[in-house]
Amino acid sequence: MILGLIRLNIAALALMLIVYFVLSIWSRSVRRKKLGEEWDEEVQTGDRAAYVEEGLEDYDQSLRRKLILGVFVVPYLVIGLLVYVMNFQ
Amino acid sequence: MLRYLKYTFWTVFWVLVLSFLHYTLPQRDIVRIVDTEVRRVDFGENSIFWAQADTGQDNEGVNRDVRFINAVKENGRIRVYRNEDTGWGWPPYFKLDSSNLQTEAADLVSESRANPQWVILTHYGWRNEFLSIFPNAVGVRATDDPNQRLIPWFNILVLTILAGLALGFFRMTQWFRREKIDPILEDVGETWDAVDARADDARDNARGVWGRFKAWLATWRGKPRV
């Protein structure tokens, strides 16, 4: 029981860490591109690089950024739900 | 030649993916249970098609007792299921209640052929006589109608999520190629073009056995009518 659980947790954590980092980098890169395009099309005043950096700082504080942490929460919720439905219903 | 390698690769890939999903995802049969039993199984070449001892028990032995549920479908075909814990391992059914399931199944045994108690039995896995493998039962509930149509909502949901994940993964590899690999490739682009040109020259010079064979095949084709 304990050994199996530990093995499951290690595998799940390793997988979730990879997914978390890849998603974070990807999402930030997409945000950076969008901010650049926004400056090109709408703002067009001031420093483009500064505009992008400022936008990225806002993004780092945003809810959207924190939603990526769901990568660690959702699988455990699904496991919990499955254990309940499969065995205790 | 490379094209045929590619076709072969993708055929093998999809056969593997689809059989993996077909083995792992749950399916439902409407059956009447005729017997439940426990018998010892010695695992051999087929050991990857068996799950594990009940969660918390010793899992080291080369043999152990396995619960079985024997059943018959409405059309008379027989179905034999094993009933094992999947525990915390693969596939992720998190099934810990094999003993309870065996009791439920025993409770639903049909008393006679004339008076059948139909049940919807959820299972995953395959029956294969050559390997002596059995699908693993994961749930059972009684029903009155043996001919009802069961819609696999759970599988539809899982396959939709998997397709979404695959699409996301594909888009991410595209992004990775565009943002991270293409800039590097542009730097070495000129060198690459030179290598490419040289390879083209080499290919023109030596058509190879396959190319000559295909050219020979082409001579059998009708000439295009003008």
Per CATH, the number for B8-150 is 2.40.50
Among chain A residues, the shortest Cα distance to B97 is held by A87
Domain boundaries, chain B: 8-150, 157-207
> Which of B154, B117, B151, B115 is CA-nearest to residue B138?
B154
Q: Do A29 and B87 touch (CB under 8 A)?
A: no
The answer, for B66 touching chain A at a CB cutoff of 8 Å, is: no
Whether the per-residue pLDDT at B166 is higher than 90: the answer is yes
Q: Rounded to an integer, what distance in angstroms lies between the CA atom of residue A23 and that of residue B168?
A: 10
State the best of B58, B88, B158, B179 to mutate against chain A, taking most chain A CBs within 10 Å.
B88
Among chain A residues, the shortest Cα distance to B55 is held by A1
> What does the pLDDT look like over B118-147, one tens digit per residue?
999 999 999 999 999 999 999 999 999 888
Burial class (CB in 10 A: 0-12, 13-18, 19+), A26: middle
Among chain A residues, the shortest Cα distance to B141 is held by A89
Which ipTM value was assigned to this complex?
Answer: 0.76
Q: Rounded to an integer, what distance in angstroms lies between the CA atom of residue A70 and that of residue A66?
A: 8
Q: What percent of chain B has pLDDT over 90?
A: 53
DSSP chain B: -HHHHHHHHHHHHHHHHHHHHHHHS-EEEEEEEEEEEEEEEE--TTGGGS--SSTTS----SEEEEEEEEEEETTS-EEEEEE---TTSSS------HHHHHHHHHHTB-S-SSS--EEEEEEES--BTTTTB-PEEEEEEE-S-TTPPPP-HHHHHHHHHHHHHHHHHHHHHHHHIIIIIHHHHHHTHHHHHHHHHHHHHHHHH--HHHHHHHHHHHTTSPPPP-
Kindly list the residues from chain A whose CB atom is less than 8 angstroms away from the CB atom of residue B97: 86-88
Whether the per-residue pLDDT at B226 is higher than 70: the answer is no
Higher model confidence: residue B40 or residue A4? Answer: B40
* Per-residue tokens: B1: 């030649």
Query: Least CB-CB distance to A1: which of B56, B94, B100?
Result: B56
Helix axes A70-87 and A2-38, enclosed angle (nearest 10)? 140
Q: Do the Cβ atoms of A68 and A24 come closer than 8 Å?
A: yes
Whether the per-residue pLDDT at B225 is higher than 70: the answer is no
CA B146 to chain centre: 27
Domain hosting A64: range is 2-87
> Which of B136, B145, B106, B141 is CA-nearest to residue A85?
B141
Q: Do B96 and A83 touch (CB under 8 A)?
A: yes
* Count: domains in chain A: 1
Q: Do the Cβ atoms of A76 and A16 come closer than 8 Å?
A: no
Q: Rounded to an integer, what distance in angstroms lies between the CA atom of residue B212 and that of residue B206?
A: 10
Q: Do the Cβ atoms of B133 and B46 come closer than 8 Å?
A: yes
Report the DSSP beta bridge partners of residue B118: B32
Q: Do A86 and B88 touch (CB under 8 A)?
A: no
Whether the per-residue pLDDT at B58 is higher than 90: the answer is no
* Per-residue tokens: B151: 């819609």
The answer, for A76 touching chain B at a CB cutoff of 8 Å, is: no
Query: Least CB-CB distance to B87: which of A4, A79, A88?
Result: A4
> What does the pLDDT look like over B3-47, one tens digit per residue?
899 999 999 999 999 999 999 999 999 999 999 999 998 888 888
Most confident of B84-98, B127-141, B163-177, B205-219: B127-141
Whether the per-residue pLDDT at A89 is higher than 80: the answer is no
Residue with tokens 């059989």: B19
Question: What is the distance in angstroms between the Cα of A59 and the nearest Cα belonging to chain B?
Answer: 20
